[in-house]
Chains A and B, each alone.
Chain A
Amino acid sequence: MSRLRVLKRVGLLAAIVIALILPLIAPDPSTTNLAVFTVMYIGLATSWNIMGGYTGYISLGHAAFFGFGAYSLGLLSNHLNVAPGYAPFLLVPVAGVISGLVAVLIGWIALRTRAATFVIVTIAFMFMGQLLAENLVKLTGGGAGLGFPYPQQWGGDFYNTPFYYAMLALAFLALATSWTIRRSKFGLGLLAIRDDEDKALAVGVPTRRFKLAAFTISAIPVGMIGAVYGYYVTYVYPQFVFDPLIGISMVLMVFLGGLGTLAGPVLGALLLEPAQLQFAYRFGASRLYLVFYAAVFLLVMLFLPRGVVPSVQELLQRRRQELASP
């Protein structure tokens, strides 16, 4: 095993250990709150990457699944009179399944189109979700929002901890899914679609089915994460879960870290989410944080369109080649 590989494994192990014991070493609520949102975005970006990174089909509407997940859990736990505490977490997979079903429906329609039109259609579907949540007042409460069970028993420093671990579990789930797909024949088919869709068809890749499968698989964790988010914030409004900014954030994180890579979305979320929260906290009222956001976005697109991870990989590769042939 090369030294680099050992280093990588040790680093990975350390990261996992730190992630697992974080609420123990930094129990104050402001830190754990930041951790909940950062880990949430690791999961979101990783899931988005399964569709956007591997197949190259950019969805700007993944916030729709976030919203459907949140509303599913809220409505289910209210109607089933689920007691606040750990019980609502058991419904999270149900929210994932519902988001997955919605994804099949949306994907079936949106994937009739390619590239540019697909992007547009995903945006349209997100706004459809928002309108549904706003207009089906009897079901969702409309613009007045939807309340979740409130776990009063988790007071003080502990409150964030269950949510942190729930988000962490979902992020691991997304990462494991992404990793498995990347190493499977299915994953290769997706990458082939990204490179040349017609050629992929010509060598037998059932592109329609593969794309729909990838779209659905990438939507399910997003729905589950949305569900946990809703429970965490205890009250959701249509425009704050079917939020275009959530949809674009995952995309930006993936682009910043590296499209189609495993580590890229994680890195992107780690870099961006804390900064984003800081800015929203400081300049939220003046909406100036949007300008900051746009600026980061434009800089990444113009100067680092391939992302940090591929750029670093390339650098290492070149160094290695130089060392090999002096």
Chain B
Amino acid sequence: MRIVLEAAVLGVLTGGVYALMASGLTLIFGVMRIINVGQGALVILGAYLSFALSRSIHLDPFLTLIVTMPVMFLLGIGLQFVFIRPLKTDREALSVLITYAIALGIEGVLGFFFTTNYIELRAWYETASFAIFGFHVTWVYVFGFLLCLAILGALFVLLYRTSFGAALRATMLNRTAAQLVGVDVDRVSALAFGIGVATAAAGGVVFGVTNAFNPGSHYDLISRLLSIIVLGGLGSLRGAIIAALIMLVTTDIAAVVISPVWASFVFFIILVLVLIVRPQGLYGVRVRERI
């Protein structure tokens, strides 16, 4: 029982970073109806950027975000402008392939510069922990969780308290209608992609301090993230957050109860069950194209 509870706490803490990464993914889908299969690779890229920065100028990994988030934001806008915007027909299908290619490209470049050896982001407090109700909790997990919470909070404020957020939500609901009432849909799309990629930078740091990673880690990551947004319902921010928590708590419990090697598998089992019972996900709307 004790270890199960401990696993659940860990699940919530690590669920935070998955919630953040999946939010970026689902936001991009909501606004542009495209699936950014490159999100996993962008997270890993973010982790490597922080790694390079923290090593070269001895900055705390979390502080590197001051640099990496704006950089990744601009990168996102650039990627959207060069690769996504030119797509005229069949955007949904083609964008999956394009972002997949971007992921491969990032993997290749990272492999070239950093080799395929596993690395980890290091902070001096990485093994420091504290005890609460007899549970041992490592500080980095708490920091990571709080950081993700803060960024998610900022994201919600942006979405629900600003006029840009209103335009963004309008675009998510109905692209054409938003266009008709004067929303610059192209600009909104570019910014949304930028924001989505910036969340990958933040996710990268938290992922990097809590996991060892190499350039190929993005496959495992993206298949988890995609499962999360399908479970939550494509395009639903709330769904992504709740799904991330469900998934991580379940897998972390499965890791201690069954075996760590089957934890990821449990993840996919949940996905399959959801698809059988509720193909549109928790908060999704059933897609029925114009009848």
Q: Cβ of B94 < 8 Å from any Cβ of A?
A: yes
Question: Given the complex, which residues of B lie within 8 Å of A298, measured CB to CB?
Answer: 83, 98, 101-102, 105
By a CB distance below 8 angstroms, the chain B residues around A3 are none
Enumerate 23 A-B pairs (CB-CB under 8 Å) in ascending A order. Answer: A60-B96, A113-B279, A120-B227, A121-B271, A123-B37, A124-B230, A124-B268, A127-B223, A127-B264, A128-B265, A131-B264, A132-B265, A135-B261, A198-B289, A245-B104, A287-B108, A290-B105, A290-B107, A291-B108, A293-B104, A298-B98, A301-B97, A302-B86
Quick check: is B109 within 8 A (CB to CB) of the other chain? yes
Interface centre among B90, B96, B100 (most CB of A within 10 A): B100
Interface residues on B, range: 35 or more
Contact B287 A114 (CB under 8 A): yes
Q: Which of B107, B226, B290, B291 interacts with A120 by CB under 8 Å?
A: B226
Distance to closest chain A CB from B48 (angstroms): 13
Chain A residues in 8 Å Cβ range of B90: 305
- The smallest C-beta distance from B137 to any residue of chain A, in angstroms, reads 29
Inter-chain CA distance A115–B94, complex, in Å, is: 11
Closest 4 A-B residue pairs measured CB to CB? A290-B108, A287-B111, A294-B105, A297-B101
Contact A58 B116 (CB under 8 A): no
- Give the residues from 79 to 137 in chain B that come closer than 8 angstroms, CB to CB, to chain A: 83, 86-87, 89-90, 92-94, 96-98, 100-102, 104-105, 107-109, 111-112, 116
In A121-167, the 8 Å CB interface with B consists of 121, 123-125, 127-128, 131-132, 134-135
**Which of A255, A289, A292, A297 counts the most chain B CB atoms within 10 A?**
A297
Q: A275 to B239, alpha carbons, bound, how many Å?
A: 43
Q: Are B264 and A305 in contact (CB under 8 A)?
A: no
Please judge, given known A-B contacts A291-B108, A298-B83, whether A198 and B291 are in contact too, CB under 8 Å: yes
Question: B173 an interface residue at 8 Å Cβ cutoff?
Answer: no
**Are A121 and B104 neighbours in the complex by a CB distance under 8 Å?**
no
Question: Is the CB–CB distance between B271 and A124 below 8 Å?
Answer: yes
Partner of B92 from the list A115, A134, A255 (CB cut-off 8 Å) is A115
Interface readout for A283-312 with B: 1 if CB under 8 Å, 0 if not? 000111111111101100110010000000
Partner of B83, one of A112, A134, A302: A302
How many A-B residue pairs have C-beta atoms within 8 angstroms? Tell me.
138
Q: Chain A 154-198, CB within 8 Å of chain B: the 1/0 string?
A: 000000000000000000000000000000000000000000011
Contact of B93 among A58, A112, A127 (CB under 8 A): A58
Question: Is B219 an interface residue when CB atoms closer than 8 A count as contact?
Answer: yes
Q: Do A197 and B289 touch across chains, with their CB atoms under 8 A apart?
A: yes
Is the C-beta of A56 less than 8 angstroms from some C-beta in chain B? yes
Tell whether, in the assembled complex, residue A135 and residue B262 are in contact, meaning their CB atoms are under 8 Å apart: yes
What residues of chain A lie closer than 8 Å to B98, measured between beta carbons? 297-298, 301-302
Q: How far is the CB of A55 from chain B (nearest CB, A)?
A: 11
Bound form: Cα–Cα A132–B230 in Å: 22
CB contact list, A229-263 vs B, under 8 A: 244-245, 248, 251-252, 255
Task: Indicate if A119 sits at the interface (CB-CB under 8 A).
Answer: yes
A290 touches B223 (CB 8 A): no
Query: Is A127 in contact with B220, judged by CB distance below 8 angstroms?
Result: yes
In this assembly, does B1 line the interface, its C-beta being within 8 Å of a C-beta of chain A? no
Partner of A124, one of B108, B109, B227, B287: B227
A109 to B265, CA, bound (A): 16
Find out whether the CB atom of B89 lies under 8 angstroms from the CB atom of A124. Answer: no
A287 contacts B107, C-beta separation under 8 Å: yes
Is the C-beta of B246 less than 8 angstroms from some C-beta in chain A? no
A 212-235 to B, binary, CB cutoff 8 A, 1 in contact else 0: 000000000000000000000000
Q: Is B20 engaged at the interface, CB distance under 8 Å to the other chain?
A: no
* Known pairs A109-B272, A124-B223; A56 contacts B93 (CB<8 A): yes
